[in-house]
Copies of this chain bind each other. A is one copy, B any other.
Amino acid sequence: MMSSKQPPGSTAILADVQSRPDDRALAIDWVGVKGLKYPITVLDRAQGKQATVGSVTMLVRLPQEQKGTHMSRFVEILGEHHTEITLSSVQSMLQEMQQRLGSQRARLEVLFPYFITKKAPVTGTPGLVGYNVQLAGRTGIRDRLELRVEVPVTTLCPCSKEISEVGAHNQRGAVTVLVRLQGMLWLEELVEIVERCASCEVYSVLKRPDEKYVTERAYQHPVFVEDLLREIASELMVREVVEHFVIEVETIESIHDHNAYGYLSRTRDRSMPSGWR
């Protein structure tokens, strides 16, 4: 093979090493770029649009005949689309990735903080709460669009409450819900489902009457990690647009230096008695 070394500064006829053939007979499941920070705009139920910052992963399948993929094209495609990241623009980007990278399968994940205005429960003082959201799409065999959101909540331990004369240990927990959808579901609705099932939701601003409210609300609604998983699952199972879900709960236990953790996943299966497996 001839070397394509060029005099410094020359840009002519540079070898395309990535496009060369490969004889190891091994297709690569996924290859691309990861951790690319980019400003993006996403849809907002209340405001129309919201500007935020995404961390982006873009991958394609590499056929066995080809030595390497062309990493710069991923970033070019993102640069052309970052002004609006929606379920439908993710679809377009995936198709472009397949075409411009010459691949049968593409995968795109965008992780970003999303802000929702919440009013304190008694005084109504407004404040923003940030939620980590991931929008993930895949084309090729089994096209998929998944929405994932991490919701911070308060959990109060039912056992601690029942066995103790006064008080009950409680803590911040993170609930992560991933859904695969047949149709539309607002992110805000997913957040509300999770917050209703917790001992109490969290706020950014709480004045004294609000603090009294959230303390008592949590005490009156104790939940184990297990209860939270089951309550959220029950809510998701009655929504027709949900085809598959994964719920994870991790609570930063106030009485330990380790966390409690739970995982519950189901996929819709109309052949089963419950409609799910």
Q: Which residues of A contact B (CB under 8 A)?
A: 3-11, 14-18, 22, 24-26, 28-39, 50-53, 57, 59, 62, 67-69, 71-72, 75-76, 79, 82, 113, 115, 122, 125-130, 152, 154, 156-172, 200, 202-209, 211-216, 218-220, 224-227, 229-231, 233-234, 250, 252-265, 274
**Is A259 touching B35 in the complex (CB atoms < 8 A)?**
yes
> Within the assembled complex, what's the spacing in Å between the Cα atoms of A130 and B37?
6
**Is A68 touching B226 in the complex (CB atoms < 8 A)?**
yes
**Is A219 touching B29 in the complex (CB atoms < 8 A)?**
no
Determine how close the nearest CB of chain B comes to the CB of A120; give it in whole angstroms: 9
Q: Tell me which of B37, B126, B162, B216 contacts A79 (CB under 8 A).
A: B126
**Is B205 touching A14 in the complex (CB atoms < 8 A)?**
no
The residue in A16, A57, A205, A215 that gathers the most chain B C-beta atoms within 10 A of its C-beta is A215
Determine how close the nearest CB of chain B comes to the CB of A192; give it in whole angstroms: 16
**Is B53 touching A167 in the complex (CB atoms < 8 A)?**
no
A265 with B29: in contact, given A152-B257, A162-B15, A257-B172 (CB under 8 Å)? Answer: yes
> Within the assembled complex, what's the spacing in Å between the Cα atoms of A216 and B226?
24
**Is B211 touching A258 in the complex (CB atoms < 8 A)?**
no
**Is B205 touching A26 in the complex (CB atoms < 8 A)?**
no
With A9-B213, A79-B205, A164-B215 given, can you name 8 additional A-B contacts, CB distance below 8 Å?
A6-B212, A18-B224, A28-B263, A68-B158, A76-B127, A172-B254, A172-B257, A204-B258
Residues of B within 8 A of A225 (CB): 31, 68
**Is B38 touching A226 in the complex (CB atoms < 8 A)?**
no
Chain B, Cβ-Cβ closest to A233: B26
**Is B11 touching A212 in the complex (CB atoms < 8 A)?**
yes
**Is A159 touching B5 in the complex (CB atoms < 8 A)?**
no
Residues of B within 8 A of A14 (CB): 163, 208-209, 212
Chain B, Cβ-Cβ closest to A165: B8
Give the 9 A-B residue pairs with the shortest CB-CB distance, closest first: A167-B219, A51-B51, A11-B209, A37-B130, A34-B261, A164-B215, A36-B258, A31-B262, A152-B257
**Is B212 touching A62 in the complex (CB atoms < 8 A)?**
no
Determine how close the nearest CB of chain B comes to the CB of A28; give it in whole angstroms: 5
